[in-house]
Amino acid sequence: MRKFWYILSLLWIVPAYGFANEQDPIREYWVEQLIRLSSPVIDNLSGDSLKKVMPVEQRQEYQYLEAFGRTFCGMSRWLNLRDDSEEEVLRDTVRNKVIKCFQHGFDPNSLDYFNFVEGKQPLVDAAFVAQGLMRAPLVWEMLDEDTKGSVIDAFISLRRVKPYPNNWLLFSSMIEAFLYDKTGICDEDRLFEGINAFVYAFYVGDGVYADGMYYDNNYYNSYVIHPMLMDILLLLENKGLGNMDERRLLEERRYHRYIQWMERQISEAGSLPVYGRSAVYRLGMLHALAEYVCVSDSVSSLPMGQMRTAMTQALIHQLDDRDYDERGFLKVGYNDYQPELAESYISTGSGYLCSTFFLPLGLPRNHAFWTDPAEDWTSLKLLNGNQALSIDESYREEDTFSTILKRFFYRYRYLNQFEKRLVKAIFLLFFVFAVGGYVLCLIMHFRNPRK
The domain total for the chain is 2
Residues 371, 445 within the same domain: no
Residues 117, 224 within the same domain: yes
Range in 136-140, 160-164, 343-347, 394-398 the model is least confident about? 394-398
CA-to-CA distance for 195 and 218, rounded, in angstroms? 20
**10 pLDDT higher than 70:** no
Residues 221, 283 within the same domain: yes
Confidence band of 2 (pLDDT split at 50, 70, 90):
very low
CATH of residue 134's domain is 1.50.10
Residues 40, 141 within the same domain: yes
Residues 329, 448 within the same domain: no
What range defines the domain where residue 75 resides? 2-414
**451 pLDDT higher than 70:** no
pTM of the predicted structure, to 2 decimals = 0.88
Return the pLDDT at 390. 79
**433 pLDDT higher than 80:** no
Range in 47-56, 219-228, 262-271, 294-303 the model is least confident about? 294-303
Residues 305, 442 within the same domain: no
267-275: average pLDDT:
92
Residues 356, 434 within the same domain: no
Question: pLDDT averaged over the chain?
Answer: 88
pLDDT digits (tens, 9 = 90+) for 318-356: 899 999 999 999 999 998 899 999 999 999 999 999 999
pLDDT digits (tens, 9 = 90+) for 361-413: 999 999 999 999 999 999 999 888 877 787 888 888 888 777 778 777 777 67
Return the pLDDT at 238. 87
Return the pLDDT at 12. 36
pLDDT digits (tens, 9 = 90+) for 16-43: 323 333 458 999 999 999 999 999 999 9
Between 405 and 208, name the one with better pLDDT.
208
Residues 427, 409 within the same domain: no
Residues 140, 93 within the same domain: yes
Residues 344, 432 within the same domain: no
Residues 408, 445 within the same domain: no
Residues 231, 273 within the same domain: yes
Between 450 and 399, name the one with better pLDDT.
399
